[in-house]
Amino acid sequence: MLRPTSTTLQLREMILNGELAPDERLREAELALRLGTSRMPIRQALPVLAQEGLLVRSGQRGYAVRAFTPDESLDALRLRASLEGMAARTLAERGASPEILDGLRACLAEGDALFTQREITVDEELRYGEMNARFHALVLAGARIPLLEELAARCNLVPFAAPRAIAFAHLDKRTVFDLLFYAHRQHHSIVEAIAAGKGDRAEFLFRDHAVTQENSMHMERTGQVAVRIEEFPEAARAASGH
């Protein structure tokens, strides 16, 4: 798995907000000029975005933006949430192994460390995305249903449907913090439900968890607005340490 960088995040956001149009052929020199960087970070980022399903090969060595619709991404995200919800229910009802619970709690601790300040940096966004991908993968692996993992992996190939696909070009830093913080509080609740063997609650929380990703990228069909911590008193108290 290729690792994303801050340049990857910038290009991902440019695709999300339409600055890089569907089927547009990407040229390293032009992108480097637009982002104020050298060609090397661009060259490293393009295969990562292709791996995420955002780009397709064009010519012998080039890439172009993959054509997709927001509804395709939204449908894949919701389908993935249903599959992961089933995995969370199964994991809770069958009982999670100590190894899976340790892995999930390690993700919680890593996420907690990112929110010690009231702001999150670009590098921390990337670290959150990597942690989030591991968290979701652990739940799927813990359910021990290979077909579920295969179907979820297929959903992850649709642009912006994967847990790692974080893009916030249109949002201010405070809203970014609020969205990620609330999503991570959901992680805590999911692990608590799994550890307690509460399958119904684990499934519900995982399905609801996908709504946060929809809001983060303005993919929702219903016109909902991005969440803020003030709307969730329990999360706000946790952020302030009270």
Q: What is the pLDDT of residues 96-149, one digit of tens each?
A: 999 999 999 999 999 999 998 877 888 888 899 899 999 999 999 999 999 999
Tell whether the model's pLDDT for residue 16 goes beyond 60. Answer: yes
Nearest to 139 by CA among 183, 203, 76, 196: 203
Q: What is the pLDDT of residue 196?
A: 97
**Buried b vs exposed e over 47-62: b needs ≥16 C-beta within 10 Å?**
ebbbebbbbeeeeeee
Q: Tell me the average pLDDT of the chain.
A: 84
Q: In sequence order, which residues have a C-beta less than 8 Å from that of residue 211 and are 6 or more positions away?
A: 220, 224
- Tokens representing residue 195 in the block: 């550890």
Q: Is 166 exposed, middle or buried (0-12, 13-18, 19+ CB in 10 A)?
A: buried
pTM: 0.77
pLDDT in tens, 188-240: 999 999 999 999 999 999 998 888 777 766 554 433 333 333 333 333 333 33
Q: In sequence order, which residues have a C-beta less than 8 Å from that of residue 131 and are 6 or more positions away?
A: 107, 110, 111, 114
Cα angle, residue 219 at apex, residues 218 and 225 outer, rounded to 5°: 40
